[in-house]
Amino acid sequence: MVRSLFWFYAGFVFVSFASSLWLLLSSVLTVMPIPLPYWLLYTPGNIVVAGVVVAALMLALYTYLGVVLVLGKLSRGFVPITMVIAFVIGFALLLAGLAIPALVILVIAYVMLIGTYAVLISVATTRASKALWGVATIILTLIPPILIGGGLAVIDYVKYMAIIEQATTIIASAVEAWKLGVGQ
């Protein structure tokens, strides 16, 4: 069962790193005086499209994680599956123009994402990746209260926290993928 998690970790590293790299390169290259293809420009439309693609890929990865854990007789696999279902329902409600119910469901999905990180801590095979997933979970838990308490005054601080959270999850997944792919 743990061996089949290799594809989750490898996919997580690929999707997260690719999205971070695209955001970095497109933001830097857009201000350069060189012509770029439209899809590489740092425009709001391109950022939304990239976000939707990354969200869809991440939801597929979390679904895979949940299915692998459930098939491996670990009922905690229902946490990522529930998170994916809540996110899809919340996003559908948002597209339907029902902002308040969408917000409630998306808050539930966010809490389930924190639970999914806790599940990842529990199935990690190395102490380093457990620690990194733990740090990411703590950061993910602290972001909403800091944002609510500070409002727009702390938005840059929250962005840096999110970048650190994403970096720790990429490193934790890379450690796990390495361990599961090469170490066994």
Most confident of 44-53, 132-141, 142-151: 132-141
For the chain, percent of residues with pLDDT exceeding 90: 45
Residue 184 banded pLDDT, cuts 50, 70, 90: low
Residue 175's nearest CA partner among 4, 6, 18 is 6
Between 38 and 178, whose confidence is greater? Answer: 178
Q: Which residues contact 155 (CB under 8 A, 6 or more apart)?
A: 147
Given this model, what pLDDT does residue 136 score?
A: 93
Question: Within 13 Å and on the Cβ side, how many CA atoms surround 10?
Answer: 11
Tell me the C-alpha distance between 50 and 41, whole Å. 11
For the chain, percent of residues with pLDDT exceeding 70: 91
Spatial contact of 173 and 12, defined as CB atoms under 8 Å apart: yes
Instruction: Please check the confidence at residue 154 and state whether its pLDDT lies above 90.
Output: no
The 10 Å Cβ neighbour count of residue 139 is: 20
Instruction: Please check the confidence at residue 20 and state whether its pLDDT lies above 90.
Output: no
- pLDDT tens-digit series, residues 69-104: 998 888 888 999 999 999 999 999 999 999 999 999
Given this model, what pLDDT does residue 183 score?
A: 62
Please tell me whether the overall predicted TM-score, pTM, comes out greater than 0.95 for this model. Answer: no
3-state helix, strand, coil in the chain (%, to 5): 85, 0, 15
Tell me the C-alpha distance between 68 and 171, whole Å. 21
Tell me the C-alpha distance between 66 and 86, whole Å. 14
Given this model, what pLDDT does residue 158 score?
A: 82
Tell me the C-alpha distance between 76 and 119, whole Å. 7
- pLDDT tens-digit series, residues 162-181: 888 889 999 999 998 888 87
Given this model, what pLDDT does residue 74 score?
A: 85
